[in-house]
Amino acid sequence: MNGIVLYSSRYGATRQYADWIGTDLRLPVIDPEMINDQLLAECDFLLIGTSVYLGDLLLKGWLKRNKHRLEHKKLFFFIVCAPSPDVSTHGQIIMDNIPGDLLRPSTDIVFLPGRWIFRQLSRTDGRVLKKRALTETDPVKKEILSQDSDAVKPENIAGLLETVRSFARSYTNLAMLDQDFCDFLEYKIGEAFGNSTREPVRHFWCDGVMLPTFEADYSRKTVNDKRQIVMTAYIGPTGQDIYQLTLKFGKKALSRYARGLDISDCVPSLESDNWWDVDIDRRKLLIQLD
């Protein structure tokens, strides 16, 4: 499976996290402005890192402009805040900056502590911190705001790395076909036979399609490697003859299956019958998806 790390960093903390993540997971680390449609299409998931500046994510605008390109991807956000972040603000930061279309149950978001080194800050940012320090009443927070602070450590991303690895494991093993698809395919096969001029196939009908016995035989990894799934179909004049059904995946079907999307619309239309073939003697049925 393929993934990439995107990031935008103001003073280097987010870039450091992105580099650590890329190295550990062996993923390319890319400037989001450099990503193109082809690279994005090849990705199964994205890790998106961004700093927070005055309540806004540095990638707020980019996320808004590109939400249509990300809405079908698995997303992991790592948001880098102050060295001692205020957890109470996290929810508002998410709602104000990440488009609602991307806030799906499957989206993972973590906040990571950042750093500030006064000599590296712009004058404006340095003055903002000093002003906050002067008005802060909590002595612990006041001390943090008044001096250099660096909370960027590799161990901060341990949980995120494990979450990504867990997703990769489940993604590799997850079976994406279900009984609904089998019922749909049964119906389409019956329609195809009925519209055919081939003898004696045009008198055939389909009375069921069955998945392979083992889910590993139709996992995403198996489909990506073999480009096909071997199933069972009950077809024939009475619909009771057992045939080996080989479902071959075209580019569209492979792409959708890899992303966990429905492949029903990858079954070609009935206007032609060159997407299926029946070998009656060997009891085999071949279906080619788009």
Check which CATH number belongs to the domain holding 22 and give it: 3.40.50.360
Distance CA 198, CA 211 (A): 27
pLDDT at 217: 83
Mean pLDDT of 248-266: 88
Mean pLDDT of 46-75: 91
**pLDDT for 187-235, tens place per residue?**
999 999 999 989 999 999 999 999 987 777 888 888 988 999 999 999 9
Helix (H, G, I), strand (E, B) or coil at 51: strand
36: pLDDT strictly greater than 80: yes
| Most confidently predicted of 30-34, 60-64, 71-75, 101-105 | 60-64
pLDDT at 259: 79
Lowest mean pLDDT among 16-20, 123-127, 190-194: 123-127
Give how many domains the chain has, as a whole number: 2
pLDDT at 135: 80
Portion of the chain with pLDDT greater than 70, in percent: 97
203 occurs within a structural domain: yes
75 and 188 inside one domain = no
260 occurs within a structural domain: yes
**Better-predicted residue by pLDDT, 128 or 279:** 279
**Structural domain boundaries, residue 34:** 3-114+151-173
166 and 265 inside one domain = no
Mean pLDDT of 63-92: 87
pLDDT at 5: 97
Mean pLDDT of 229-250: 95
157 and 183 inside one domain = no
**Better-predicted residue by pLDDT, 78 or 146:** 78
Which amino acid does the sequence have at 153? K
Helix (H, G, I), strand (E, B) or coil at 80: strand
Nearest to 170 by CA among 129, 119, 221: 221
pLDDT at 189: 94
Assess contact for 51 and 125: CB atoms under 8 A.
no
pLDDT at 203: 93
**Alpha-carbon distances, residue 16 vs 19, 76, 96, 237 (angstroms):** 5, 17, 25, 66
Q: Which residues pair with 288 in a beta bridge?
A: 248
Tell me the pLDDT of the chain averaged across its residues.
88
Distance CA 90, CA 118 (A): 24
pLDDT at 172: 58
Which residue among 127, 142, 173 closes a domain?
A: 173
201 occurs within a structural domain: yes
Which residue among 142, 173, 204 closes a domain?
A: 173
48 occurs within a structural domain: yes
204 and 168 inside one domain = no
157 and 250 inside one domain = no
165 and 276 inside one domain = no
165 occurs within a structural domain: yes
pLDDT tier at 283, thresholds 50, 70, 90:
very high
pLDDT at 99: 94
129 occurs within a structural domain: no
pLDDT at 173: 54
- Predicted TM-score (pTM) of the model is 0.59
Distance CA 6, CA 33 (A): 9
